[in-house]
Amino acid sequence: MNKEMKQLVKQLHEGKHSCVILTAGGDTYTCNRRGVADLYEIYRTMPEVLEGATVADKVIGKGAAALLALGKVKAAHGDVVSEPAMALLRAAGVKAEAGEVAPHIINRAGTGRCPLETACDGLETPEEIYPAIVEFVNNLKIK
């Protein structure tokens, strides 16, 4: 892990954030909501924040990995990264690293798989996954 990433991971944990983004221009954005909600909003409304950025995240599942790949992130660290997410990031040319690589992400209740990662089953590319993310986030807003 390089010095820049170590600093981001430290900021992630000390600030109790869900995600920290260092833009290519040197600005820092922090995310505090759980899941992909903040990352989705940034990609949807300010994609330039992600292009060439370095990202530290607590959990990177296949949905988050797709958003990072679509956003053209340069490097990403996840405390926990699922195997499908790691494969997707590497295929997209993102320098990816993990504290732990897990077969899949567990849901918040600890009773099964993450529902977004499950929704991404059978979808291979970030472009294929994006509509599943949109549907997932929109369903969260309804509830």
Q: Residue 33: which CATH number? A: 3.40.140.30
Task: Tell me the whole-structure pTM to 2 decimals.
Answer: 0.95
Q: pLDDT above 90 covers what percent of the chain? A: 92
Q: Give the residue numbers spanning the domain of 61.
A: 3-142
- Nearest by Cα to 128 from 65, 50, 66: 66
HSE-up (13 A, CA, CB side) for residue 71: 30
- 3 state SS of 142: helix
* pLDDT score of 15: 96
Find the helix packing angle between 37-45 and 126-142, rounded to 10°. 120
Strands in 61-139 per DSSP E? 75-82, 95-102
- As a whole number, the mean pLDDT across the chain is 95
**What's the pLDDT tens digit per position in 80-116?**
999 999 999 999 999 999 999 999 999 989 999 999 9
For residue 101, give the nearest of 139, 59, 53 by alpha carbon.
Answer: 59
| Number of domains comprising the chain | 1
Calpha distance 124→69 (Å, rounded)? 12
